[in-house]
Amino acid sequence: LFICAQRPEETDMTTWIWAQINNLAPKHTLHLQLRRLSPEESRALLAALLDGGHLSPELEQMVLERCDGSPFYIQEFVRMLIERELLRQVDGQWVAPAEVDLSTTPLPVSLEGLIRSRLNALPAAQRQLLQCISVIGRPCDRDLLAAIGTLTDLEANLEALVQRDILHYFTETQQWQASHPLIEEVVYRSMLRPQREAWHLRVADALNRRSAETGEDAVEEQAHHYLEANRPLQALPYLVLAGEKAAARFANQEARQSLDLAWRLVHEHPGQTERLIWRISAALGDVLQRLGDYGEAVQVLSQGLERCRAARLPNYLLAGLLRRLGDTAHKQGDMDGATRRLEQALSLVQDSQSRATQAERARIHLSLAWGYFMQGDLERAETICLEGREQAQAIGNLVEVARAENLLGGIYYQQGNLDKAQEHTMRAMALREQIGFTWGVAATASNLGILAYMAGQWRNARRYFERSLALREEFGDVEGVVIVLNNLAWLLKDQGDLEQAEAYYRQSLHLANRIQGQ
């Protein structure tokens, strides 16, 4: 369950994010507009905050006029009055001291001013703790706070801030966080830049030590904190790891953001190792290719290849970049250029029998086989695909074995041999389930649905299509959802279920129009 808050005035990026989420999961998305509280609702909130007590009518009216139906403003305003002893409980009624006239007392007008007023009244150690927590920017546990090393009286100050409702304590996870995002934002913005950078550096170093001790994966946070600490070279390896991690789970936009920044940093700061440059160019090339930015993919891969050739990196690494260039050419429709690149790659990995070289050789054969398959040269595609499968099997590379089996299923389908097509596609499905390759399972389930349909196994076809649809909706493959909805509509139309077929067609068209309009 994801709950996202958006302020009404945030109309650019937040609206775009909302549109993206709604596109990815329209059936599982609910948009609620929360309006200001009515006077009756505001009075009910006041009563709850005052724990059974009540304000005098004059004081209540003043609070309601100032707060204008904003629940958080009401909370902060009442807490500020109590903490500054401008509001006291006398015989069950909250009143201002006799010597205080609230109508003439200078009080903060804005919500930010209220928050600042409360924070300024805190002891220095509690303000410092809040600064640290605002820089961390997420729920954090005591061990991380202690590892930062500059915080005193940690337990007492955490408890005091919870009592003031400035921090919230999550019992289940034993973590603390600001009780409202605005508190975190005000604390963070109140610091001078050198202060923020110093805190980000302390947090990054603490996360490093923690990761080394516990094996905790926090590369995205480490990259973020080193960047905010103005330590780009310390951030660089974590940016690459974060990009590779996101790419592995097909979070392509997230991967691109990290890898684009890493690519820019290696150009701004010469002297980085060619191995690191290879990793960035390979991962970024893969991501750009998936996103359809083929021209930029070619540029990144070509620059990486030039740098790595000059550094005399191992041939299998150079071949990996050439293979990616070949795959990109395939997607651009340049079959001759793709074959030329792939044959160049193959020539670099013919001699060595290292495991890494064998794995790359298998990948190149499968890319070549795919090209011949797309050109309709099924016999040659089959021969090369079988060779690639054999090489992958020899080193136990199940990812490439599954890829070969899936391609063989497509080859035999085009040859009209449905039994062999189903056999090999089922093998691909089993392997991809075994290694947990969810995207591959979704794609293979679609293929099996088509094969079952062609074989007249309509019940199986529907089961495969529905499984593919559920997986694609789960990880946000909108284009894949459009295709599978179309497949389901096609199947149900042929079965005579015209009403459900029409519903699927309409849903597919609706999503397709949304994609086109982005």
Same domain, 30 and 47: no
Same domain, 186 and 206: yes
CATH number at residue 178: 1.10.10
Same domain, 14 and 86: no
* Residue 346 and residue 319 in contact, taking contact as beta carbons nearer than 8 Å: yes
User: Does 77 reside within a domain?
Assistant: yes
Same domain, 49 and 12: no
Same domain, 85 and 168: no
Q: Which of 186, 216, 246 is the last residue of a domain?
A: 216
Same domain, 29 and 80: no
Identity (one letter) of the amino acid at 77? Answer: F
**What's the domain range around 23?**
1-34
Four-residue CA torsion sign, 426, 427, 430, 435? negative
Four-residue CA torsion sign, 74, 77, 82, 87? negative
User: Does 395 reside within a domain?
Assistant: no
3-class SS string, 311-341: CCCCHHHHHHHHHHHHHHHHHCCCHHHHHHH
Residues of the chain where predicted confidence (pLDDT) is lower than 70: 1-2, 5-27, 52-53, 103, 476, 515-518
Same domain, 92 and 12: no
Query: Could you tell me whether strands 140-141 and 175-178 are parallel, antiparallel, or unpaired per DSSP bridges?
Result: antiparallel
User: Does 285 reside within a domain?
Assistant: no
Please provide the size of the chain in residues: 518
**Quick one: the chain helix, strand, coil %, rounded to 5?**
70, 5, 25
pTM over 0.85: no
Total count of domains within the chain? 4
User: Does 8 reside within a domain?
Assistant: yes
Q: Residue 11: its pLDDT value, please? A: 52
Same domain, 60 and 30: no
Q: Residue 460: its pLDDT value, please? A: 94
Same domain, 11 and 62: no
What does the pLDDT look like over 125-137, one tens digit per residue? Answer: 999 999 999 999 9
> Taking Cα atoms as reference points, which of 317, 315, 339, 318 lies closest to residue 327?
339
Q: Residue 16: its pLDDT value, please? A: 63
Same domain, 129 and 203: yes
Same domain, 79 and 151: no
User: Does 19 reside within a domain?
Assistant: yes
Q: Residue 14: its pLDDT value, please? A: 61
The three-state secondary structure class of 291 is coil
* Residue 362 and residue 388 in contact, taking contact as beta carbons nearer than 8 Å: yes
Q: Which of 189, 216, 243 is the last residue of a domain?
A: 216
Backbone angles phi, psi at 175, to 5 degrees: -130, 160
Q: Give me 100's structure tokens.
A: 């205080």
CA distance 164 to 168: 10
User: Does 52 reside within a domain?
Assistant: yes
Residue 177 C-beta-side C-alpha neighbours within 13 Å? 14
Q: Residue 163: its pLDDT value, please? A: 93
Q: Give me 113's structure tokens.
A: 């001013």
Same domain, 138 and 186: yes
Q: What is the DSSP letter of 229?
A: T
Neighbours of 97 (CB within 10 A): 12
* Residue 235 and residue 226 in contact, taking contact as beta carbons nearer than 8 Å: yes
